[in-house]
Amino acid sequence: MDAGRASRTAAYMALFRAVETARRSARLFDDPLATTLLPSDLRTVAAVARLPVVGPMVPWVLDRGWPRTRSSGVVRTAAIDALVLDALAAGARQLVLLGAGFDSRPYRLPLADALTFEVDHPATQAVKAQRLRASGVEVDRTRFVGVDFERDDVARALRTAGFDAGLVSVVVWEGVVSYLSSSAVDGTFSLLARILAPSSRLIFTYVDKGALDGSRHFDEARRWKWWVGRNGEPFVFGFDPAEIGAYLAAHGFRLVSDVSTAEVARTICEPLGRDEPGSALYRLTVAERE
């Protein structure tokens, strides 16, 4: 990403959540803060999405431009919300958001007394913290940890911020690994294995490597890759789903589940009567520290 400005893909994810929140029915979640966290140009788009009659055209236009991107994004948000709440109900006492972007989970989900660590690039984090404070959001239970995954010692930064390696945690690493070098991804898995207590859960998303090297065909891959590249944040890393279990085992994690957002969409959208496709190239994985 461009180290001099807040992540644009993070802003688009918040736009997708704002547009979802503007739906009149069968919403997958409510994210009232999503609009507040947007830059002014995308805030205008979110405002249009709330208008009667023309509002429903906004997701339609987004889907024409970047097929399945919005759909995959809102489906993954809903699924991860449920996974975080499950982990907290099972005893997690700390929530770590790696590459938090404009995620508002710490302020919209019932986290009980869990302490939250928002870990992100300082360029994105500074903008978010400023927008949260300007809108009067209570951030007492949040620790902001500014790091560059490519360069910084994330474990040390977390410890300095008060992370307790003796407590069970839930870690969300959503929409981030595809933008990192393989050494930063490997390094982060290794440090997580070092600092996470047994039974801690790691929820992460990734792009099917076949979409990046062209060895598997996905209709939406070309436009999606063009779109993130145009935002200065090209996809550079993917996993092969066939290898994810072995990769996790080598890093001290047990694979719990690994599904595409197309599969998640079938599970959570069909019962609502919604025709959301998700995406076969974008995957959601849950792992547990052994």
Ligand X SMILES: C[S@@+](CC[C@H](N)C(=O)[O-])C[C@H]1O[C@@H](n2cnc3c(N)ncnc32)[C@H](O)[C@@H]1O
- Is 103 a binding residue for ligand X by CB under 6 A? The answer is yes
Q: Which of 129, 131, 95 is nearest to 110 (CA)?
A: 95
Give the H or E element holding residue 171: strand 169-173
Least distance to ligand X from the beta carbon of 274, Å? 20
- Is 1 a binding residue for ligand X by CB under 6 A? The answer is yes
Between 200 and 205, CB nearer to ligand X: 205
Q: What is the DSSP letter of 172?
A: E
Q: How many residues bind ligand X (CB under 6 A)?
A: 21
Interacting stretch for ligand X, rule CB under 6 A, among 119-127, 187-195, 256-264, 280-288? 119-127
Least distance to ligand X from the beta carbon of 150, Å? 5
Which residue of this chain has its Cβ atom nearest to ligand X in the complex?
A: 101
- Is 86 a binding residue for ligand X by CB under 6 A? The answer is no
Interacting stretch for ligand X, rule CB under 6 A, among 29-37, 143-151, 257-265, 268-276? 143-151
Position of tokens 């918040």?
A: 14
Buried b (16+ CB within 10 A) or exposed e, 231-244: bebebbbbbebeeb
CB 258 within 8 A of CB 285: yes
- Is 278 a binding residue for ligand X by CB under 6 A? The answer is no
Distance CA 191, CA 215 (A): 31
- Is 100 a binding residue for ligand X by CB under 6 A? The answer is yes
Buried b (16+ CB within 10 A) or exposed e, 52-80: eeebeebbeebbeebbbbbbbbbbbbbbb
Least distance to ligand X from the beta carbon of 273, Å? 26
Q: Which listed residue (179, 204, 218, 253) binds ligand X by CB under 6 A? A: 179
- Is 99 a binding residue for ligand X by CB under 6 A? The answer is yes
Q: Which of 112, 106, 70, 122 is nearest to 261 (CA)?
A: 70
- What residue ranges bind ligand X (CB under 6 A)? 1, 7, 9-10, 13, 99-101, 103, 120-121, 124, 147-150, 174-176, 179-180
